[in-house]
Amino acid sequence: MSDSENYQQRKAFFAQMLTIYGRKPVLEALQDDAIAVYKLHLASSNREDGQIRKMRELAEKRGVIIEMHDRQALSRISKNGKQDQGAAADLQLSGLKDASELSQQTATGQRQFIALDRITNPQNLGMIIRSVAASGIDGLILPRKGCAALSPLVIKSSAGTLFRAPIFLCDDLSSCLSKLKNDGTRLCALSSHAKQSLLTDNYQGSSVYVLGNETDGVSPAISKLCQQQLSIPMHNGVESLNVAITAALIAFSSAGN
């Protein structure tokens, strides 16, 4: 294997890693054989109480690497020293990929994706992930910064579907969408002011449906990139839907188109 091939394999492997923290989430992950746990991180200052002992036992039984750290080092790993409770774990998610793979996806046929622009509520993100996993839509495009992090609360809100959902992580949403647009993918912004309805959209080709912030909607910069504006018809004086509900409608109406 060449150095380039080895690098690409390592890059793909680590792109699938998600670090979770907190004793209960880590213990639940270790108890679920369907979740691939790569490494268990523990603070050396932990007391060997029931939960910590159980984590060790499960990790050893499953052949999971166990690493000990001082509190400062563990805080750097969990990125949340105030709430990690001295425990973190690296999970390998088969559906988690880098957005650099999106071009290969769109080149192989008609593909449908949802992209999130500054969705900050973890519960909304979790519910969106659940709809993406359940619907069979081709994936969720999620910026690493500016949106809610893939935290234990998101895992809980997704009802565990985060471990199976197709998610493409990008560093910058604008750059990611610009590349897809140049490759021939249609970009659609969801807007309550748009004249064309999502329900009557019959575009035959790859599309990305962009959902914006819970308060402000799609940002002007991202909206400017989009070739199409779509709305969901409202009745009885209702102005808009929760973003997670909107995502569900898009996911199930677009999957398989």
pLDDT for 210 equals 98
- Asked whether 249 and 127 are in contact (CB, 8 A), the reply is no
What are 62-71's pLDDT values in tens digits? 999 999 999 9
Better-scored residue on pLDDT, 221 or 108: 221
Q: How far apart are CA 183 and CA 151, in angstroms?
A: 32
> CB-based contacts of 103: which residues, under 8 Å, 6+ apart?
179, 180, 183
pLDDT for 108 equals 77
Using only C-alpha atoms, the chain has a radius of gyration, in whole angstroms, of: 20
Which alpha helices (DSSP H) does 67-209 contain, by range? Answer: 71-78, 102-107, 122-135, 152-157, 173-182
Q: Which residue has the tokens 């750059």?
A: 175
**What confidence tier does 22 reach under pLDDT thresholds 50, 70, 90?**
very high
Question: SS3 for 127?
Answer: helix
Amino acid residing at 67: E
State the virtual CA torsion across 220, 224, 225, 227 in degrees, nearest 10: 130
* Burial zone of 174 (CB within 10 Å; 0-12 exposed, 13-18 middle, 19+ buried): middle
What are 200-255's pLDDT values in tens digits? 999 999 999 999 999 999 999 999 999 999 999 999 999 999 999 999 999 999 87
Q: How far is CA 107 from CA 103, 185, 190, in A?
A: 6, 9, 24
| pTM for the full predicted model | 0.88
- Asked whether 69 and 39 are in contact (CB, 8 A), the reply is no
